[in-house]
Amino acid sequence: MKILVFGKTGQVAKELQALASADLQIEALSRAEADLLDSAACAALIAQTDADAVINAAAYTAVDQAETEADAAQTINADAPGAMAKAAAERGLPFLHISTDYVFDGAGQGARAPDDPTAPINIYGRTKLAGEDNVRAADGPHVILRTSWVFSAHGANFVKTMLRLSETRDALTIVADQHGGPTSAADIAATLVAMARGLMDGKTGGTYHYSGAPSTTWADFAREIFHIANRPVTVTDIPSTDFPTPAERPLNSRLDCATLLSDFGITPADWKAGLTRVIAQLEQGTS
């Protein structure tokens, strides 16, 4: 199987490339090769590919910056995926698109199911939801995989930020009223490949959730990072109101992944196991 991947240096894209093997070819496209600001050019690449499936692992993910760059976020997160999905549908190619818990409003305490009402509270979430709608409208074989709190040994993420801060700080205040599932980019990549194979075998696809288990808070996530990395850092809980950001964050990012298990046989991974692997990678300098 050959998969065309939009994105090359992002967290999930890097992990997808690491899965390449004798029976799995990954063609990952850099921004220079496929700029999502040019939707037509991205669609043209799909029209001429010899790949068996397409994964969109590229996105505008600067949540706060999106508040002042709404047009760019809309083009990258909504317009380009729509054009790409349409091009894939015209050729009958499975199209897999990564989305986010930010399509929900973050209210309540329960885990959100894929068919629960959406109501994003910031521009990033609204553009990602628009991208979902455009992918569905293309009406081809597709998967929209919503995930949350992605971490890896690559790029910028919460784990790497905490480890960097621990080099000069022995105490940190971390938000403790936002709940979600930290998710290893390597686990997301493996899930996407398994779902691509499923679509090629005739599975219907649709919208699914995948996040690490069990749910936690950013503060407790930080504590586990320091515990596994053996860093003596004291974490003090604070509310979100003590750490204001340009874009509002959802307080409840819990995702119900039951349909992913029932339809594809995929169970959410233990995020602590993924975290242990990532910290080992970083300590060994193998990222």
Report strand pairing: 179-180 vs 234-238. Answer: unpaired
Q: Could you give the C-alpha distances from 51 to 3, 118, 219, in angstroms and in order?
A: 5, 33, 42
CA-based nearest residue to 51, from 69, 29, 74, 70: 29
CA-based nearest residue to 190, from 1, 26, 16, 3: 16
Spatial neighbors of 223 by CB under 8 A, at least 6 apart, are 235
Q: What is the largest CA-CA distance in the chain?
A: 56
Catalytic residue among 60, 124, 208, 210: 124
Is 124 annotated as catalytic?
yes
Spatial neighbors of 198 by CB under 8 A, at least 6 apart, are 205, 264
Active site members: 124
